[in-house]
Every structure is written in structure tokens, then in C-alpha cells.
Structure 1
């Protein structure tokens, strides 16, 4: 995986080893396997949160692992223009490139280790596509998109866009140097990531060397999730097996443990956040607190109140049709 890396992990700050006496290891509550599907114009995804109680995910709503897929020339696909309201989308690219444009003027190209953080808030239109040269050549594509809920007080905030380059993330390593940790948002052992969030969360991409074990301090008031993006290993103190495409949900405590298989590396996405504990009504591209608010979002979208496709893109689309 070509996400941001370093030549010598031992030169990085090290996550402190939790005190075995005072710390409370989090047990593994469940391990689920993400079903495969297709998104947008037909790119393959794994639905990481499928079958998991929303209360265990709170404040997260939805997550797709996009790929890993090696496209032939002409095969790369994206999404058409579509609306969102009431939450934030976080798109992280590990391999390949994705181009984002939105009706608020945000956008750009993200590639190996970059993140686009879009707060839909009151409403926005956006599109995500592979660049033309990638469509022509084909190539490897891999990443994920996470939906982070907004509390009722922030559901209708003004949209905003954060372009986070891979080189901006905070890099850490485990005490023995067996794992590289990329802090994208929130804080881990005093090291903060660059992502700015309305809802307090922590988002970390970890690469564990073959046979490496990793125990992280984790805020007791956050939930704790670990999704395996590549490889296999175990989670929790009892060593429950996990592999590519599986999500582990942890129970109460203040540390989480994962370990890589002795014969292969393992990439894990760690997620945690402060539960919002508000009603959630999600339908299609809208995540609100009530059915009436979702219906209002559809009405506002149909009336053009969530934004309009920028003229340049509308012109190009018109020429192509």
C-alpha cells in the first residue's frame, strides 16, 4: 500500500505502552464480514458496517472500502453528481486517484494517502470520478469512504471542504517499531491529526509488520472499531481471528489490541468517536433526525436549494450528452 510511509519508523514518536495494571483492555463484542456490492457508476465496494447495530457505530453511519481493484483500460468508474445533507463524508485514497468537485467550490485530486473531508451540512452536491488519464490507462484503485454523523445542532451548518495531503497526517510507531500509525483526525496518545471535525472522533490507518502486535490507548468515552483493509491477524486480548473485509467492534475499556499474522502484513483502520445518541433517520444521501427532515431534504434538493452543478461541469456534461 503506497499510503504515506517512512524509511525508518524507529525515528518516529512512539505510542506509549499502556500500564497493564491501570488500563482496561476492551473486549471484542463482534466480528462481521462486509458484503460486496457496487456504488455509483459501478465501482466495487465492501459495505464495512453491514449488519452492525447503529448504536455500536455511533457517531459513524456508513463506510465503504472501495476496491482493492486493478482496472483494465476504460474500466475505472466514479459517481454522478448527487446531493448530501446532515453529515460529513471522508474519502481516503490508498492507491490510485480520485477527483472531487462540489457545488460549494471545493474539490481537487487526491492520491496515495490523501483525504478529502466534505461537510455536507445544510446541503451540497458533489461528484467523484477517476481522472481521464486513469480511465484511459487503467490501474490499481483502493480507498474508503466514511460517513460521520452530525449532531442536531450542526445538521444545517454551512458546507465546508478540507483537502488533507498525505504528508500532513501525524506519524507514530508502536513501542517496538512493528507498526506505522497515520493519524488522520482526532488524537492518539497526544498526537493530533489534521482533520477538523464537528463530532469528536479519532481516525487512524495502521500498517502492522508480519507478526507485530499493537495495543493502543483509546478514549473510554469513545466507541472503538477496527476494520481490516488488507491481510489478516487477530483482535482483542483473546486473539480473535480477523481478515480482509472484517470489522471488529470493541466493548468498554481504554485500550484496544490487534496483531498481524506471522506471515503477512496487516492494514487496519481504527475508528472511534463520542456517541451523539440522537435519533437517526437515514435515507439515500440524507442523514437527519426525523422522517419529516428527510422529506424536507428531498424537497429542497428537487427545488435546487442544495446547490447547483457548477457551470463549467454542466457545460461539459451537456456537450457529452
Structure 2
């Protein structure tokens, strides 16, 4: 896969953790992703929401797009639509996606790049496959993560971060058998490029067959592992986990996982906000009154103006 790769022998190595004195986290539950249609009709696999929201807090949604080999004319995206009150993090492993928003942010994301959009007080944006991908077809594979904003930051000005593939911090497991890409947050003192309002850690790891990956993990963070491809085991009890499944962990000091095949996983966790959540479609606030205000502001054009005339599914949903 074209997501950032490197020779693990040349990378900084994660520390070897003591086997008997480390409080390894156990798997609390395994959640299978469900299938949905989004945007113009592209299929996603979604492991959450669906679990108890408190277990995923501060994360709101994870959509796994592909991997799919599009034929000519088949690639689809999500044209202009609104957001308020959270952040969308789009990480592309294969393919090309183009972002544009009403606050002036935008760019092209491909092969290990990340688009980090803070909707904050409100923004309109568009996410579409490149014209070349639409015309010729090709491989497409990526994920989008929604990160909640604390109550104090829900009205922050919109912000856009274009994280190029080369900006991602690369690490090796202690034995050199796994490549870890740090997109945001901190692992063992190594920090990723993503700027966050909420303390989180977001990683993509590729484990060679039979390789083991251990990670120190903040005790006050929750922790989840989602499988992009392959299979392996995770947790202190070696719970089996395969493509399209999410493991949710209980408390502890560290995570452990071992691959059966070549195994690609997302590893994510954060400090729970423990705040009320009111959500409706593309809006996530703290109260129902704030949701109604977001709908009114969108319909009145106060969330921004697009560059071109548009009609979106949100117009129909919110009317």
C-alpha cells in the first residue's frame, strides 16, 4: 500500500516494556463495523457510533472507506455540506481526495496524507475524489475520524491542517517488526504533527506476520484498535481481531498486539470530555437548543458561502 513506508531498522524504536510488571490492558469488547452509504453513495464501514458513546469519548465516528477498486466513473465523494462543533480527520492510504471549505482551507490528500478540518463555529466543505480517479478509476482506501470539541472550543474559528505524508512521525516497534505512523498525539515521547484541541493519540501501524507491537498508553486515556486489513490478536488475553472489527480496551498502562498475517491497524485513544453530547447529522453540540441554532444558522447561510451553487443532502435532511 502507498501509505508512508520506511525501513524500520532506520527508525527510532519504541521502548521494550517489562512483561511481568506492566499493567497490560484487556479487551473490554469487540465491535463489528456496520455498512452505510455516505455522500453521493459510497459505502463505508462504521464501527462507531454504535458502542456506548462513553467508551469512544472524545471520538464521535469512524468511517472506513474501502479498500475498493473503482472502475471508470464509479468513484464518489461528499459534495458541499455543513459541520459545527467538532473536527473531521481524513486519512488517505490509497487514492486521491480533494478538499475545499468555505473558510478558505483546502488541498489534495493522497497516499498517507491527512486533512484535519476543525469545523468549530461552523463551516461548509466538500470532499471529492480527483477527476483523474473518477475518469480512470483506481484503488481507493481511507478513513475519516470525527473528534469532538470541548464545550469551551465549539465556537473556535474554523481551521484546516494539511498533513503531508512526509510530516507523519515514523517509529519502529522494539523488535523492528512493526512500523508505526504517529498522526497526532504522543507515544513514548514521540509526537505526531496533528494539532488537537482535545488530548488524543492517533496511530496507523503495520505489523509483519507474527510481529508483536507494545505501546505505553496514558492511564487516563481510553483505547481502541480498529483493523484495516489482516488479522491478529490483541490485549493481555490475546483476543482475535480481524478486518472490520474494533477492540475497545479497559484501563491499564500499555497495549499489546500480535499479527497473524500482515496486519494494518488504527490505534486511537483520548482523554474523555465527559460532557453532554447533542448531535444531529453534521452538527455536534452540548444542548438541543444549540443544535436548533446550528440548523437555523445553516439555513440562513451563516455557516459560510460555497464557491459554487450547490444542493446537498443536508439541505433535504435539515429542511
Aligned positions of 1:165-184 closer than 5 A: 165-184=164-183
Given that residues 84 and 125 in structure 1 are in contact (C-alpha distance below 8 angstroms), is that contact kept between their aligned partners in structure 2?
A: yes
Given that residues 35 and 50 in structure 1 are in contact (C-alpha distance below 8 angstroms), is that contact kept between their aligned partners in structure 2?
A: no
Q: Which residue of 2 aligns with 1:94?
A: 93
Distance 1:240 1:21 in 2: 19
Q: Which moved more, 1:233-242 or 1:201-210?
A: 233-242
Aligned positions of 1:124-139 closer than 5 A: 124-139=123-138
TM-score (norm 2): 0.96
Distance 2:252 2:90 in 1: 29
Distance 1:175 1:107 in 2: 37
Runs of 4+ in 1 over 4 A off after TM superposition: none
CA-to-aligned-CA distance 1:179-199 (integer Å, 9 cap, x gap): 000000001111000000000
TM-score (norm 1): 0.95
- Pairing 1:5–2:2 present: no
Q: Which residue of 2 aligns with 1:230?
A: 229
Distance 1:285 1:50 in 2: 14
Instruction: Describe the SS at the equivalent of 2:284.
Output: strand
Distance 1:276 1:97 in 2: 33
Query: How far has the Cα of 1:50 moved from its partner?
Result: 4.2
Instruction: Describe the SS at the equivalent of 1:45.
Output: strand
Given that residues 202 and 272 in structure 1 are in contact (C-alpha distance below 8 angstroms), is that contact kept between their aligned partners in structure 2?
A: yes
Distance 1:98 1:14 in 2: 32
Distance 1:107 1:51 in 2: 30
Q: Which residue of 2 aligns with 1:218?
A: 217
Aligned positions of 1:268-287 closer than 5 A: 268-287=265-284
- Pairing 1:244–2:228 present: no
Distance 1:156 1:126 in 2: 17
Distance 1:227 1:258 in 2: 12
Instruction: Describe the SS at the equivalent of 1:237.
Output: coil
- Pairing 1:109–2:135 present: no
Given that residues 169 and 194 in structure 1 are in contact (C-alpha distance below 8 angstroms), is that contact kept between their aligned partners in structure 2?
A: yes
Distance 1:280 1:50 in 2: 12
Given that residues 43 and 67 in structure 1 are in contact (C-alpha distance below 8 angstroms), is that contact kept between their aligned partners in structure 2?
A: no
Distance 1:254 1:220 in 2: 5
Q: Which residue of 2 aligns with 1:293?
A: 290
CA-to-aligned-CA distance 1:225-272 (integer Å, 9 cap, x gap): 0000010111112111110000000000010111111xx200000001
Distance 1:26 1:11 in 2: 29
Instruction: Describe the SS at the equivalent of 2:78.
Output: coil
Q: Which runs of 5+ in 2 are unaligned?
A: 313-319
Q: Which residue of 1 aligns with 2:306?
A: 309
Distance 1:294 1:140 in 2: 37
